[in-house]
Amino acid sequence: MTKRLKVAEILRTEPLNTTVQVKGWVKAFRNNQFLALNDGSTSTNLQVVVDFENTDSAIIDRIKFGAAIRAQGTLIESQGKGQKVELKATEIEIYGDCNPEEFPLQPKKQTLEFLREHAHLRFRTNTFAAVFRLRHKLAFAIHKFFEDRGFVYLHTPVITASDAEGAGEMFRVTTLPMDNPPRTESGEVDFSQDFFKRSTNLTVSGQLEAELGAMALGEVYTFGPTFRAENSNTTRHLAEFWMIEPEVAFNDLQDNMDLAENMLRYVIQFALEHCADDLKILEDRLIEEEKSKPQDQRSDMSLTEKLRFVVENEFVRLTYTEAIDILKNSTPNKKGKFQYPVEGWGTDLQSEHERYLVEKHFKKPVILTNYPAEIKAFYMRQDEPKEGVPGPTVSAMDILFPGIGEIVGGSQREERYDKLVRRMHEMHIPEEELSWYLDTRRFGTCPHAGFGLGFERLVLFVTGMTNIRDVIAFPRYPGSAEF
């Protein structure tokens, strides 16, 4: 029996004048003769030429858009335009019919809103097939980047008893009956009778556990799902998303910035080199989308230009204090164009401020450092007071990209036991809940740093999609937990 070949392999190797078997889905069928077949391995279809005179008419009648088929025949040079080779079929078998009157997708342009309503079928469109092939390549590139540099991939827990961010926006994990949970004498839910004998939640970050690994293994990273019970129904937030979080012993803030910048450059360059066909599909989609916008709202760069913008430009590094001065004196701020006016030091920067710095002021990717302590997490290393800086700061850093704002957040971690405990007290975080974390500062502590990259933010940037729900296969957000 002839072994099945994937379309991507056929188009790459072009084994002319050999018998080839392919399996996939019909993307188009015209003149009862020319069939466009795709199996998901590439964005490019393989043309299959059907011998309609010698093929059962009942088979030909079943060749409809979306049908799953097997085709076997000889691969030959194509005489038509648009493809170099084609399969001259001698056998056609229908695996699964697709009634065009009932199939929600049609061989025409569909809006992204419509496809979100039929998310279980959207993989079958060219756009989403390209998005998820790119997502795969980016995930592979992340692992390769860290593997090549000697990092250890650490699987941190999904179920945890700690709140790494101190935000409290967590999903509860319990086996207790919801209608009548056991209670203590004071009337509170008695979690000592729960499965884990204590209150537990889905993780918001693997950082704290990754720090434990870094204190022995040196360089570790996590890459796994994280969860936020944040009621944000926006195009930039998900309740379930994936995070990449490296932690490195003996790194300081400068080392941390270098690692993050190098990683972002590497994975984006990887996409440019290995995903040209899929990027072309998404770039063409963006070009068409831009045509419907007013001229002043259109992007100055194409998708690939935007990606090269990041790869080819040094990231600008400046402190939060310097950024506030720029924003406070900017024309949009003075003319009231910002939705959130920048009034002075201590302002928590919004996406509009971050994008102004990247897209208008510097016209380069930006790394902001040394944020006010009061707007950052308890574990960030406290800076020494500096002249000209109004208040206490921490050795934090955020990386800002065009069109998306913050894509990476990180810091040097506070390795000094006394200062970390004092900060926990200030933020009302009980020592006993994180005694295991504090042990890393009591026994063999050292400077160390790390960051978090929201994987969907990265995929959003590389694909040019505008809604984060379109770059994860099964999006979770308020009111939606399908599939």
| pLDDT tens digits for range 137-150 | 999 999 999 999 99
Pairwise pLDDT comparison (417 vs 482), residue with the higher score: 417
Average confidence (pLDDT) over 154-179:
86
Q: What is the pLDDT of residue 438?
A: 96
* pLDDT > 90? residue 360: yes
Residue labelled with tokens 């080392």: 255
128 shares a domain with 96? no
| Closest by CA position to 398, among listed 323, 461, 307, 462 | 323
Query: Looking at the structure, do residues 246 and 392 belong to the same domain, yes or no?
Result: yes
Range of the domain at 239: 124-169+204-470
Please count the residues of the chain.
483
Share the mean pLDDT of the chain. 94
Question: Edge-to-edge strands of the sheet including 448-454?
Answer: 152-153, 219-227, 240-249, 448-454, 405-412, 393-401, 366-372, 316-319
pLDDT in tens, 297-319: 777 789 999 999 899 999 999 99
- Extract the tokens encoding 83: 């493809």
Same domain, 58 and 133: no
Residue 280 lies inside a defined structural domain of this protein: yes
Q: Rounded distance, CA 244 to CA 237, Å?
A: 16
Tens digits of residue pLDDT in 375-405: 999 999 999 999 989 999 999 999 999 888 8
- Is residue 375 within 8 A of residue 396, CB to CB? The reply is no
Structural domain tally of the chain?
2
Both 94 and 151 in a single domain? no
* 159 and 44, same domain (yes or no): no
For residue 177, being part of any structural domain is answered with no
Same structural domain for residues 73 and 213? Answer: no
Over the stretch 170-204, which tens digit does the pLDDT of each residue have?
A: 999 999 999 999 999 999 999 999 999 999 999 99
- Cβ count near 77 (within 10 Å): 11
Same domain flag for 268 and 134 = yes
* Predicted TM-score of the model (pTM): 0.94
Answer yes or no: is pLDDT of 164 > 70: no
Please check whether residues 367 and 259 belong to one and the same domain: yes
Q: What is the CATH number of the domain that holds 23?
A: 2.40.50.140
- The predicted-structure confidence for 333-346, as pLDDT tens digits, reads as follows 999 999 999 999 99
* Residue 209: CATH number of its domain: 3.30.930.10
Q: Is the pLDDT of residue 165 over 70?
A: no
Residue 446 has pLDDT above 80, yes or no: yes
Q: Where are the beta strands (DSSP E) in 78-171?
A: 85-96, 152-153, 159-160
- Which amino acid is it at 361? H
Assigned domain for 46 exists: yes
Do 358 and 242 belong to one domain? yes
Residue 114 falls within a domain, yes or no?
Answer: no
Are 458 and 241 a contacting pair, CB within 8 Å?
no
- pLDDT per position as a tens digit, 207-221: 999 999 999 999 999
Give me the phi and psi of 480, to 5 degrees please: -140, 120
pLDDT at 167 over 70: no
